[in-house]
Amino acid sequence: MSSILSVQNLNKSFGNKHVLHDVSFTVEKGHIVGLVGPNGAGKSTIMKAILGLINYQSGEIKIANQTVTPASHAALSKVGALIEYPGIYPFLTGWDHLQLFADGDHQLIHIQEIISQLNMDSYIKRKTKGYSLGMKQKLGIALALVNFPDLVILDEPMNGLDPEATKDLRDLIISESQRGTTFLISSHILSELQQLASDLLIIDQGAIVQQTTMHQLLASQGKQTIMLATNDDKTARQILKKAKFKMTADPRLEVVATDDETMPQVLRTLVEADIEIMDVKRLEGNLESSLLEVLKQYRVAQKLAKEQA
C-alpha cells in the first residue's frame, strides 16, 4: 500500500477558534476519497491546508512523501485543485485560462480532451465574463485537471452543474482515476459521491469521525428500508409506529427493515387497518442515511464523554 497523501495531527485555529483538532488520515494512490461532514466541519480548511494556502498551528502534511507547508510548495507540482468556487478572470476566455495555467505547450491535446469530455467546446473561446455558474464550475474543474495531476482535490465539484454535466464530471473523474489519478472530493451531494468514492473520510466539528471504505460504511450502517406510498400516509405512519415498527426520522413513510419478515408484516398491518397501498419500494442502504446515523452516534458519544469528564 502506498499513500500519496498523509496528514498527521493537523491543528488549525482562526484566532481563538479551534477549527481542526488533531486531524490525521492518509489517502491511497489511485483511490477516490470522499470527504464528508456537515457545513462548517472543516472540509475546505483541510483542503486549503493540504494546498499550502493557510498557516496552521501544528501538524505535518506530506504529498508523495514530500512535506508541504505554506512556505514550501514543491510537492504541489503534481496536484490539481478546485476549492470552494472557481477563480476566473472575466477578461480571459476559457481557453486562455487553460493555456495560462498549463505547464508547457505540449498539453494542447490534453486540454482539448478535457474540453470535449466536459462538453465545453461551444463556449471555450468566449470571454468568461458571459459564462453561467455551471460553465464557470466546469472551467474550474478543467483547470484542476490540466497538468496531468497525480492528486486532484475538488471541493464541492458538482456545485451548479446540471444533471448531464454531473454525469460528464462523474465519467471524467472515473476515467482519470482509472489512469491512476487520486481524488479527494468533498461534496454534500451524497448520492453522487456514493457512485464515485471508494473511501470515505467523515469529519465533524473539525475532527475525524471515521475513515472507512464506502462498502464498509454501507454494510455497517446500511439497513434496508421499505418506502411506502398509501392513500393516507399520516394515518399509516401512526399505525406502523403503534405496531412498534422502526421508522426513519423523516416525515416520509419509511420503515427500517430489521429482517426479511419486516416487509410482509408491514403490508399485513396496513391492509388490516384498511389502508390502501399504492407503492412499495425496498431501498438499499444509502450514504445519506448511513452518514447521518454515524454522525448521530458520534455526537451522542461525544456528549457522554463530556458529561463524564
Ligand X SMILES: Nc1ncnc2c1ncn2[C@@H]1O[C@H](COP(=O)(O)OP(=O)(O)OP(=O)(O)O)[C@@H](O)[C@H]1O
The CA distances from residue 219 to 168, 189, 284, 286, in Å, are 28, 20, 10, 10
- The listed partner (ligand X, Mg ion, other proteins, none) that binds 88, CB under 5 to 8 Å by sort, is other proteins
Nearer to other proteins, 128 or 225 (CB): 128
Q: Can you tell me which of 3, 44, 69, 269 binds Mg ion, judged by CB under 5 A? A: 44
Binding mask 207-246 for Mg ion (x = CB under 5 A): ----------------------------------------
- Residue 145 main-chain phi, psi, to 5 deg: -100, -5
Select from 25, 31, 32, 48 the one that contacts other proteins (CB under 8 A): 48
Q: Residues 6 or more apart from 128 whose CB is under 8 A from it?
A: 88, 89, 90, 92, 93, 94, 97, 135, 136, 139
Q: How many residues bind ligand X (CB under 6 A)?
A: 11
The answer to the question of residue 51 lying near other proteins (CB under 8 A) is: yes
Give the residue with the Cβ less far from ligand X, 120 or 158: 158
State the DSSP code for 199.
E
CA distance 289 to 279: 21
Nearer to ligand X, 44 or 211 (CB): 44
| 70 touches, from other proteins, Mg ion, ligand X, none (C-beta below 5 to 8 Å by class) | other proteins
Q: How many CA atoms lie within 13 A of 90 on its CB side?
A: 4
Quote the DSSP letter at residue 127.
B
Complex with ligand X: residue 194 or 262, whichever CB lies closer? 194
CB of 152 within 8 A of CB of 183?
yes
d(CA 192, CA 209): 21
Q: Interface with ligand X by CB under 6 A: which range of 43-51, 62-70, 86-94, 277-285? A: 43-51
Interaction site with other proteins (CB under 8 A): 14, 48, 51-55, 70-77, 79, 81, 83-92, 96, 100-101, 103, 143
